[in-house]
Amino acid sequence: MTDHAGLYIHIPFCRSRCQYCGFYSETRCCTDAYVKAAVREMELRSTDGAPYLFDTVYFGGGTPSCLSPGQTEELLSAARKWFPVSDHAEITMEMNPCDMSDPWLRNIYGLGVNRISVGVQSQRDDLLIRIGRRHTAAEARSAVR
């Protein structure tokens, strides 16, 4: 394998809809049926024999941090089964600050997520309310810490 590639896993679920968002999303938690369909899609699109080494796996959305650790594990296991994912891959998950508790982060880290992208659009509470974010500026600062 000589060429490097990235694998994007789309999670089109959010607990609430932000006013500025132009992406398709459902305002509910990710369903097991969606996870099963995503796993099946990975199988169908697997790169058996292709000259790629996947050195990044990126969970985007929506709000991938609404996945349960079990759902995250199922998706990562499928990615590793159906694609040649590097042992040293950067595995990123987009997260909302209000989803980031210490136990949840420890679980996700234990599954292999080693990079997070925190959705902090503002440090002004009035603007966060106006654009429909569920967290406060203080919660965002705490999450980043």
d(CA 96, CA 81): 28
Give pLDDT tens digits for 8-18.
Answer: 999 988 877 76
Indicate the helix (H) or strand (E) that contains 61.
strand 52-61
d(CA 64, CA 53): 23
Rounded to an integer, the average pLDDT of 5-31 is 80
Give pLDDT tens digits for 73-90.
Answer: 999 999 999 999 999 999
Alpha carbon of 54 to those of 19, 39, 45, 132, 137: distances in Å?
34, 17, 14, 35, 35
Highest mean pLDDT among 15-19, 65-69, 98-102: 65-69
Question: Within a 13 Å sphere around the CA of 41, how many CA atoms are in the beta-carbon half?
Answer: 11
CB atoms within 10 A of CB 102: 7
